């Protein structure tokens, strides 16, 4: 099996490739090659029993998607995107990267022809939903995004469903929770503070909280995110029917509950490193985001996430900090 990871230099892409390299197979099928593509040089590839090829390129540049599709990978993980805050700040870039790049990829796959029909796993987002919300968003709730990023993801969901219906590929769209706690440095995502207020204090650094503690959101760990992708690539997609986009399970909690979970796991000294600094721009963006989901369908389809935010923190400490707290 040949696998293509678009956005292979990002946090989730790197973790996915590391896990595939360690396991040597996808489901029960041995991996023969991984191609990782991104606009920047990814970290060095992990040790593996098969070749891992690195390609540098911008999916939104005409011709790039055709090069990738010509390799005829059996499974394509499409993780590439610019994040929510950047997509909101730069309207043209958001649509070019998040929409046009995805459309170019789908078209390139279609035009290969000759019976080529790969599995395509696309990372969507809970940002496809917009306020006002019920207490918990069900699987039948409509998508009315209130950000450019959410709109771009919603359009791509429709394209994925239609290209799958027409038989051009076998697509699965995953509405990711906010991935938390993200390792590394803060990025331009408006949701970045959800990770910052946990990651930085645990590492001995100060973190800025730009919103109130009553803000509620939907989370899953990077470990769970990798599991989502692998499950989507190996599941029986006939169970999806024509509804190819799935809201994934996660943990719903307020910022205040995040902080209390941090206190229980790491103590008052760590929590004291969080500094309140309200940011009206981020508050406005976050106000239109979903807060809680039933995710019944996702669970029935076999997707799994943590059961508490304390579990999410412990995953971060184990996977990123070697079990140690500063």
Q: Is 149 a catalytic residue?
A: yes
DSSP 8-state class, residue 249: P
Of the chain, the end-to-end C-alpha distance in Å amounts to 42
Structure token pair of residue 147:
């950000």
Tokens read off for 206: 């100060």
Of 108, 166, 141, the C-alpha closest to 245 is: 141
Cβ–Cβ < 8 Å for 52, 46: yes
Q: Where are the alpha helices (DSSP H) in 178-295?
A: 192-202, 222-234, 255-266, 268-271, 280-287
Closest to 121 in 3D by CA, of 225, 249, 9, 251: 225
Among 95, 116, 149, 163, the one annotated catalytic: 149
Nearest 10 degrees: Cα torsion 310, 322, 326, 218: -30
Nearest alpha carbon to residue 24 among 54, 57, 41, 47:
47
* Phi, psi (rounded to 5 degrees) for 192: -55, -30
Catalytic residues: 149
């Amino acid at each position: 099996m040949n696998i293509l990871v678009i956005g292979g230099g990002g946090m989730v892409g790197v973790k996915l490739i590391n896990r595939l390299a360690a396991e040597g197979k996808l489901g029960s099928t041995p991996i023969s090659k991984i191609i990782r593509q991104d606009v920047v040089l990814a970290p060095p590839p992990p040790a593996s029993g098969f070749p891992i090829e690195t390609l540098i390129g911008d999916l939104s540049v005409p011709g790039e998607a055709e090069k990738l599709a010509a390799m005829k990978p059996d499974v394509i993980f499409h993780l590439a995107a610019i994040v929510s805050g950047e997509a909101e700040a730069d309207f043209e870039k958001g649509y070019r990267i998040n929409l046009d790049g995805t459309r170019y990829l789908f078209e390139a796959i279609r035009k290969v022809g000759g019976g080529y029909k790969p599995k395509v796993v696309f990372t969507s987002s809970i940002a496809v939903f917009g306020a006002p919300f019920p207490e918990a968003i069900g699987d039948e709730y409509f998508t009315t995004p209130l950000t450019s990023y959410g709109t771009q993801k919603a359009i791509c969901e429709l394209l994925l469903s239609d290209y799958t219906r027409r038989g051009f590929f076998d697509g699965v769209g995953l509405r990711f929770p906010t991935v938390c706690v993200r390792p590394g440095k803060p990025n331009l995502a408006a949701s970045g503070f959800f990770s910052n207020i946990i990651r930085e204090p645990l590492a001995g650094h100060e973190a800025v909280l730009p919103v109130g503690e009553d803000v509620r959101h939907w989370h899953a760990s990077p470990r769970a995110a990798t599991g989502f992708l692998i499950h989507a690539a190996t599941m029986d997609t006939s169970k999806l029917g024509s509804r190819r986009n799935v809201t994934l399970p996660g943990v719903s909690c307020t910022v205040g509950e995040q902080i209390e979970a941090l206190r229980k796991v790491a103590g008052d000294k760590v929590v004291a490193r969080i500094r309140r600094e309200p940011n009206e721009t981020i508050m406005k963006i976050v106000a239109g985001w979903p807060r809680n989901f039933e995710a019944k369908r996702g669970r029935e389809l076999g997707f799994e996430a943590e059961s508490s935010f304390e579990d999410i923190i412990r995953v971060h400490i184990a996977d990123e900090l070697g079990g140690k707290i500063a």
